[in-house]
Amino acid sequence: MRTIFLIGMMGTGKTSVGKAVAEGLGTAFFDTDIEIERSTSMSVRALFSEQGEAAFRLLENRILRTLPAQNAVVATGGGIVLDATNREWMQGMGVVLLLTASVETIITRVDGDDKRPLLRGNIREKLLQLQKSRTEMYLTSADYVINTDYKRPDEISAEIIRIIHLNNSH
């Protein structure tokens, strides 16, 4: 099985769904943010504040290329699509699934989470701005789009597993 890459805005469920998909398929799970934190011994928030977003994006690019091309599920950071080489890499190495959710759903899911450096200030305004700047890159990168509004991680993972099984049967 080719690696499954989950892309989308923060709060769409990439990590929780990714873990459930990996468990359901009996494969390894990776989260690019966690891998970056492991490799640097720093939190994403600390990396952003001490080294800036550009340095973080370089690490993200490097980490992405160390992950398996088969038998894995990878939850990516919301901004991974900002780099065209990341988009091309994921498309060439696996199946890319875009998880989407309304701004209201995302706010509910991330409210009070101080680990998200791009959400300082007016959270609704920031999310709308991020969504506007990334939507086209998300859509052109994705093989499949799954809306996660009003769905539990187990429901979303079951939907993804059905897609993967259909994809592998052709």
**What's the mean pLDDT when you consider all of the chain?**
91
Between 35-49, 52-66, 109-123, the lowest mean confidence (pLDDT) is in 109-123
| 144 — pLDDT class (breaks 50, 70, 90) | very high
Please name the amino acid found at residue 74.
Answer: V
Q: State phi, psi for 66 to the nearest 5 degrees.
A: -90, -10
Pairing mode, if any, of strands 94-100 and 28-31? Answer: unpaired
* Percent of residues, the chain, with pLDDT higher than 70: 92
Residues 68-97: tens digit of each pLDDT: 989 999 999 999 999 999 999 999 999 999
Residues 49-68: tens digit of each pLDDT: 899 989 999 999 999 999 99
The Cα 9–Cα 100 span in angstroms is: 7
| 41 — pLDDT class (breaks 50, 70, 90) | very high
The Cα 128–Cα 60 span in angstroms is: 23
The Cα 147–Cα 124 span in angstroms is: 19
The Cα 162–Cα 156 span in angstroms is: 10
| pLDDT score of 107 | 85
Tokens of 152: 């539990």
The Cα 52–Cα 156 span in angstroms is: 33
